[in-house]
Amino acid sequence: MIKGPIININNRFNEVFLFFDLQNSEFSPDIRIIDTFSSHFSFHSFNKQSNDSLLSHSHQLNNLVIVSSENPLYALAVTDTSIKNNMATSIAHIYICNRPIVKTLYHTVNVTSIEAELFAIRCGINQATNSQGISKIIIVTDLIHLAKRIFDSSFYPFQVHTAFILSDFRKLFTLNLNNEIKFWECPSQCDWSLHKVVNKETKLFNLIPHYSCKML
């Protein structure tokens, strides 16, 4: 297990998320990320066909940690969310060179698990892309199908989050043609150590909103 100090913790309470950003240039058919930088991102889903697939997938995730820990160009972000008593907790842990550099922690009320997870992915990507010298980013999530929707050109709720993510992608990919982002799925039953830490932490919080009568 990777251990170390947490440098930064951000908290947001009772935040209201926007839904659509129809005029954002990232959704323009002429400059879409999926068309202009399609070779810079990839998805690695969990294979359910084999009996030993859980163990094999866990080994693959461990290999990612080894590779990223040996190269300062890599950033590894592990995300997860939970909803308890109408309070959503979104957490992203970002590791660089085998060290936990940043932990982002957000709380909000009255949002869906999909929105909370997408926001966690957004935070992980933002922290990784803003880390100096990073050119390879690995995002580990238990909802990889949601990560794929970031590149969906059709309009759907919470697309304002994908606009921010795509903007971060564009900055990263434009800097160097070798820069890339990989999404890896980590189902809860995989029992992978780094995801277990994040998953456990999301369930530790039992916050009570100060102004419950104003929950939106």
- Cβ burial of 188 (10 Å; 0-12, 13-18, 19+) is exposed
Asked if the structure places residue 3 within a domain, the reply is: no
Within-domain flag for 214:
no
Please determine, for residue 174, whether its predicted confidence score (pLDDT) is greater than 60.
yes
Within a domain: 108: yes
Q: Look at residue 10 and tell me if it is in a domain.
A: no
Tell me, yes or no, whether 190 lies in a domain.
yes
Domain CATH code at residue 132: 3.30.420.10
Structural domain that includes position 124: 25-207
Q: How many domains does the chain have?
A: 1
More confident residue, 146 or 49: 146
More confident residue, 27 or 48: 48
**pLDDT for 13 beyond 50:** no
What is d(CA 134, CA 75) in angstroms, rounded to the nearest whole number?
7
On the question of pLDDT at 155 being above 90, the answer is: no
Residue 17 lies in a domain: no
Rounded mean pLDDT of the chain?
79
Residue 213: inside a domain: no
Q: Given a cut of 60, is residue 26 above it in pLDDT? A: no
Residue 207, pLDDT score: 56
Query: pTM of the prediction?
Result: 0.79
- Would 193 be classed as within a structural domain? yes
